[in-house]
Structure 1
Amino acid sequence: MTASLDGMRVVEVSAFVAAPIGGMTLAQLGAEVIRIDPLGGNIDIGRWPLAPSGTSLYWTGLNKGKRSVTLALNTPEGQELAAGLIASAGILLTNLPAATGWMSFAVLSARRPDLIMMRLTGTHDGGNAIDYTVNAAVGFPTATGEDERPVNHVLPAWDVAAGLYLATGLLAAERRRARSGEGGEVTLALSDVAYATAANLGYVADVQVNGHVRPPLGNWLYGAFGRDFATRDGRRVMLAAISNRQWRGIGKATGLSDKLALVGQAMEVNLEDEGGRYAAREAIGAVLAPWFAARTLAEVRTALDAAGVLWGPYQDFGQMVREDPRCSPANPLFAEIEQPGVGRVLAAASPLQPAIPPRPAPRLGGDTDAVLTELLGLSADRIAAYREAGILARG
């Protein structure tokens, strides 16, 4: 297939999760993304998990399909080379808080008037923040778990969402430039991503309009029926009904339609309504739990799938990789690649299908000479001189 973003070139100067996801999202759609790091790599170069070789599986996972350049960014010569690459590409994606200095929009746009700079900050006023501090403040951990003690989730949800916002914002800015010829600096605050999500899901209005603060409910589904159940063979499954068809499917699959109807009558709630099922959730769960406890996961799967029930098994990462066909080459999302420093691994392409096949992450700095030649026209002698001066990595 023809890559959607073929012909777009982006320079990325970043670390950690959000900005690299933004760059990788663009690379997976066909853009040429050149990641610039300081010599030896940025602060995220060695983050866990690691391969036996010491190569970061985290770093390689978030930088698939990019090109890697390393420069002595603490020197004027290294900064000049980086600025030249940014000007040549015309688009910069970064999460570095450089409002002034060589990487400021004012300085870089003087070299390239139509420059697009997409910058991620911590807070809207330029303060520092990371996913874990933002998440603690936005309310979700206090609504997670089963008691008053806040529970952090292990998914960096705001980083992931911010990365996708970065890619979307960059594409919007590029479209504006194509129509008007104007570049510009676009900023996104990580904390704004979280607070906007809380507002969009109704939790801000719920406090203002109803004076209600969502409590921790464990694994119950808020506002409808859903919870986890244990099976006979020690597995657990999540069951949910967010439509009347799915609710009736649960009764059909379990053979408990009549008993479930009695719950509604006894509690005087309408089980054809999400709110009614939520109000009766404890009683519904008590009716269903013995059915799950008497069956293996395989038996549960057969019965629920046949009735079109909305459910899923709980799996750890190992079970997901070893047992789930969705995490295998049977899914067009995945293909095996040869990742330098790691070996042969299963890698994901863009979830947007059809997608170009996944490509390995580069070796750190492995594209430096080629990029400097292609974009800046540097000769082999000039590159060798920079290497001798310590501006480029040796060996």
Structure 2
Amino acid sequence: MEHVLSGLRVVEVSAFIAAPLGGMTLAQLGADVIRIDPIGGNIDYRRWPRAPNGDSLYWACLNRSKRSVALALDTPAGREIAQALITAPGKDAGILLTNLPTSGWMDYMTLSAKRADLIMLRLTGNYDGSGAVDYTVNCASGFPIATGLDEVPVNHVLPAWDIAAGLYLSTGLLAAERARVRSGSGQEVTLSLSDVMLASVGNLGYLADVQVNNNVRPPMGNDLYGALGRDFKTADGRRVMIVAISNRQWHAIGKATGLTNVLASVGPRMNVDLNSETGRFHARREIFNILEAWCAARSLTEIAAVFDGSGVLWGPYQDFGQLVRDDPRCSLANPMMGAVVQSTVDGVLTPGSPLGFGKASRRQPTAAPALGQHTDAVLSEILGLSDSAIGKLHDAGTIAGA
């Protein structure tokens, strides 16, 4: 079955989140993404969380829909095979995605000498090539200081910069491939994790706020900055997020709760215009007091019955277990989701690509490969090696299968 990226071949040499996510993003859209690992797995192969049988769910969930090749990358013979796979002929091939050190056998100059139109996507820590990871980039971003109730930093568990970098890598790869189609020339494309952070902070206006207004966003707990929004506790101990960015959403809150007149009285009392984001933000404490009492008198189920379909912008707080058990969006009712065999467990709920194309079929989610599962098939198909030649490579310890 044809998918939007069918025919595109990408070789990935990577670890951890950003590059594997970039490769999986392409694979879920139909690209043939071949991940090359050292025999025994790379440094992320056993990372938590793990299944009872020891399989890394982390590794598996970042490598779905790919093919896996295991090579002795610490040997000249293993590196030579990797180079051959990266630079193999094909108008839709000759593309490398990596976030690992590239000096020596995997640098751009060496590989482009073997294939002049090579495309190489390379992620670094900082723009000067020095090292950084999501945690060291995040601490410098300003967000941990602006999170929480005081100046004590709060590190969120979402690897935001790795995720954003992975999506930038897939976008950059497709842009470079489009440029090659037009010009016939390949190129090296570089991206640094800290630049992803800086671009995001700048795009959200926080760099400009400092320079134009001499303002540093303060920690405000769960309050929405510059608008109306916060968490509220329900009668049964759950919490809900209620947000009003537009006037329509603001008026929907009053209508749904029956508090229109009570809420409207806050404006004259606080001398603010509640039909503006600024006015609602400055009056948020008074507004929150009213909504706190309303939510505290009702269960989550009762609040959902009032808010659903009312135009109120809201949502329940959930842990990962509640997300899996209770949220219909996280179920097979969502066309993005499918069920696969994962670490010997059948029917594991698994997301595919969140992109839906009107004129192309949505690719169903598939499980990650076993390490080295496709070594023999890839060497035969792409490099044309015979069964005898592949057997000799196994005997020499140069390659490994599942």
Q: TM-score, normalised by structure 2?
A: 0.96
The answer to whether the 8 Å contact 1:38/1:72 transfers is: yes
Residue pairs, 1:110-129, within 5 angstroms = 110-129=113-132
Match of residue 221 from structure 1: 224
Q: Deviations over 1:182-208 (max 9, x none)?
A: 000000001100110000000000000
What CA distance in whole angstroms lies between the structure 2 residues aligned with 1:197 and 1:91?
27
Residue pairs, 1:1-395, within 5 angstroms = 2-88=2-88, 89-98=93-102, 100-354=103-357, 355-393=362-400
The answer to whether the 8 Å contact 2:3/2:29 transfers is: yes
What CA distance in whole angstroms lies between the structure 1 residues aligned with 2:285 and 2:67?
54
What CA distance in whole angstroms lies between the structure 1 residues aligned with 2:100 and 2:15?
8
Secondary structure, aligned partner of 2:338: strand
Identical pairs, percent: 64
Q: Deviations over 1:299-349 (max 9, x none)?
A: 101111242100000000000000111000011110101235454311101
- 1:263 to partner: Cα distance: 0.6
What CA distance in whole angstroms lies between the structure 2 residues aligned with 1:117 and 1:324?
40
Cα distance change, pair 245–394 in 1 and its aligned pair in 2 (3 A): closer
Secondary structure, aligned partner of 2:341: strand
The answer to whether the 8 Å contact 1:340/1:363 transfers is: no
Stretches of structure 1 lacking an aligned partner (at least 5 in a row) = none
The answer to whether the 8 Å contact 2:373/2:401 transfers is: no
- 1:394 to partner: Cα distance: 6.9
The answer to whether the 8 Å contact 1:340/1:360 transfers is: no
Q: Which moved more, 1:231-240 or 1:88-97?
A: 88-97
What CA distance in whole angstroms lies between the structure 2 residues aligned with 1:376 and 1:287?
69
The answer to whether the 8 Å contact 1:51/1:342 transfers is: no
* Letter matched to residue 32 of structure 1: D
Secondary structure, aligned partner of 1:223: coil
What CA distance in whole angstroms lies between the structure 2 residues aligned with 1:220 and 1:264?
19
Q: Which moved more, 1:299-308 or 1:23-32?
A: 299-308
- 1:24 to partner: Cα distance: 0.2
Secondary structure, aligned partner of 2:148: coil
- 1:386 to partner: Cα distance: 1.1
What CA distance in whole angstroms lies between the structure 2 residues aligned with 1:394 and 1:292?
57
The answer to whether the 8 Å contact 2:374/2:401 transfers is: no
* Letter matched to residue 396 of structure 2: A
What CA distance in whole angstroms lies between the structure 2 residues aligned with 1:79 and 1:206?
49
The answer to whether the 8 Å contact 1:161/1:193 transfers is: yes
What CA distance in whole angstroms lies between the structure 1 residues aligned with 2:154 and 2:6?
43
What CA distance in whole angstroms lies between the structure 2 residues aligned with 1:235 and 1:11?
46
What CA distance in whole angstroms lies between the structure 2 residues aligned with 1:84 and 1:233?
61
The answer to whether the 8 Å contact 2:70/2:401 transfers is: no
Which consecutive aligned stretches of 4+ in structure 1 deviate over 4 angstroms post-superposition?
Answer: none
What CA distance in whole angstroms lies between the structure 2 residues aligned with 1:313 and 1:30?
35
* Letter matched to residue 393 of structure 1: A
Cα distance change, pair 342–73 in 1 and its aligned pair in 2 (3 A): farther
* Letter matched to residue 98 of structure 2: T
Secondary structure, aligned partner of 1:327: coil
What CA distance in whole angstroms lies between the structure 2 residues aligned with 1:62 and 1:342?
17
What CA distance in whole angstroms lies between the structure 2 residues aligned with 1:298 and 1:238?
14
- 1:288 to partner: Cα distance: 1.1
Count residues with an aligned counterpart.
394
Secondary structure, aligned partner of 1:102: helix
Q: TM-score, normalised by structure 1?
A: 0.98
Secondary structure, aligned partner of 2:242: strand
* Letter matched to residue 121 of structure 1: T
What CA distance in whole angstroms lies between the structure 1 residues aligned with 2:200 and 2:98?
22
- 1:382 to partner: Cα distance: 1.1
Q: Deviations over 1:123-166 (max 9, x none)?
A: 00001011011000010000001111000100001000000000
